[in-house]
Structure 1
Amino acid sequence: MKRFLLLFVLVLSLPLFSQVKVGYVDSETIMKQLPEAQEAQRKIDALVQQWQDELQRMKDEWKSKYDEYERRKLILTDEARAQMERELSELDRKIAEFQMQKFGPDGELYRKQDELIKPVQSKIFNAIKEVALEEGFDFVFDKSGEILLLYANEKYDLTQKVLNKLLQLR
C-alpha cells in the first residue's frame, strides 16, 4: 500500500516538475532472455531435480518399510514391532530434516539461488542504471515488480535497451 501511495503521489506531482522522464523495464523478460540468467536457472533446476529425486527415494523407502510393517505387525513380537516403529520414525525424521536442509527458508536452495541469481540481478540493475543515465530517465519502474503499473506507453519501455546493453557486455 505504501508503494502504491508513493507511486500515486509521484504521478500527481509530475506536472510540478517540467521535464521528469519516467521509463519502465520488464525484469522477467530480461531474466528469461539473458543467457547468464538462463544458465543460472538451469543449474538451480538441475539441483532441485536431484534433491527431489533423493527425497522421493527416501519416501519410497519409508513407504516400503511401512507396508512391510503393516503386513507383519500382527505376527511380530512386541520388541520387533517397536524396532520397526523406531526405524519408521527415524526415516520420517530424516525425510523432514532433508526437506528443511534443502528446501527450507534457510536451505541450500535459497542459498544457491542467492549465489547464482544475485550477480545476474546486479548486472541487470547496473545496465538499467546505465540506460537510464544515457537516455535521461529520472525514474525507472519494473513492470513485473510489486508496484502496480496501470498503464505504460511502450515508447518508455527500456527492456530491450537494457537487454541489448547486457548482451553487449558479454
Structure 2
Amino acid sequence: MRKTGLILSVLVLFASLTYAQPKIGYVDSDAIMKQLPDAQDTQKKLDAMIKEWQEELNKMEKDWKTKYEDYEKRKLILSEQKRVEIEKELVGLEDQVSKYRQDKFGVRGELFQKQEELMKPIQNRIFTAIQEIAKENEYDFIFDRSGDIIFLYAKEEYDVTNLVLEKLK
C-alpha cells in the first residue's frame, strides 16, 4: 500500500511538472539605451570625442593629400635626393595617419576603451534591473531581442522593457 501511494505521489508530481509552462519575457535593450538619460548623456560624450578625433584625422589626411599633390606637381623638377626625402616624409605622414586611425578607432583603440569604461556602469544597472524584475515577476527566461537572439514572433505581453525603464527611474 505504501509503495503504491509513493508511486502515485511521484507520478502526480511529475505530471504536474510536465504541465508547468516556463514564463518567458524579453527586453529591447536598444530601446532602453535610447530612453535612458544616462545612456543618452554618455552617447553624447562619445559622439563629441568621435567628432573631435574625426576632425583631427581629416586634417591629417588633408595635410598629407596637399603635400602629395604638391609633390606630384613638382617631382619632375626635383633632384633625386629631394624626391627621396619628400617620399620618405609622405610615407611617414601616411604612417602617422594610419597609426592615429588605429589608436583612436581600431579594435582595441581609445574609442572602444572609452565605450567600455563609460557604458559598463549603465549596462550593469540595466542587467541588475532585469534580474530583479525576473525574480519579482517569476520569469524563467528573459531574452534581449536587440542582440544575437532574434525573435520572429513574440507576444507583447511578455515584453518587460517598460518595467526595466520604470525600475531604472
Fold-level match, TM-score > 0.5?
yes
| Superposition map of 1:78-97 within 5 A | 78-97=80-99
Q: Deviations over 1:84-116 (max 9, x none)?
A: 111101000100110111111111011000001
* Structure 1 residue 79 displacement after superposition: 1.0
Scaled by the length of structure 2, the TM-score of the pair is 0.87
Partner of 2:29: 27
| Superposition map of 1:35-50 within 5 A | 35-50=37-52
Partner of 2:104: 102
Q: Which amino acid letter does the alignment assign opposite residue 159 of structure 2?
A: D
Partner of 1:3: none
Higher Cα Rg, which structure: 2
Moved more, 142-151 or 97-106: 142-151
* Structure 1 residue 150 displacement after superposition: 2.0
Partner of 1:115: 117
The runs of at least 4 aligned residues of structure 1 exceeding 4 Å deviation read: none
Secondary structure of 2:26 counterpart: strand
* Structure 1 residue 135 displacement after superposition: 1.1
Unaligned runs of 5+ in 1: 1-14
Unaligned runs of 5+ in 2: 1-16
Partner of 2:131: 129
* Structure 1 residue 134 displacement after superposition: 1.1
Q: Which amino acid letter does the alignment assign opposite residue 59 of structure 1?
A: E
Separation in 2 of the partners of 1:142 and 1:148? 8
* Structure 1 residue 16 displacement after superposition: 3.0
Q: Which amino acid letter does the alignment assign opposite residue 105 of structure 1?
A: V
Partner of 2:151: 149
CA RMSD of superposed structures (Å): 1.2
Partner of 2:61: 59
Q: Deviations over 1:115-141 (max 9, x none)?
A: 011111110000011111111111101
Whether 1:71 and 2:73 are equivalent positions in the alignment is: yes
* Structure 1 residue 162 displacement after superposition: 0.3
Secondary structure of 2:88 counterpart: helix
Scaled by the length of structure 1, the TM-score of the pair is 0.87
Aligned residue pairs, count: 153
Separation in 2 of the partners of 1:42 and 1:17? 49
* Overall identity of the aligned pairs, in %: 51
Secondary structure of 1:114 counterpart: helix
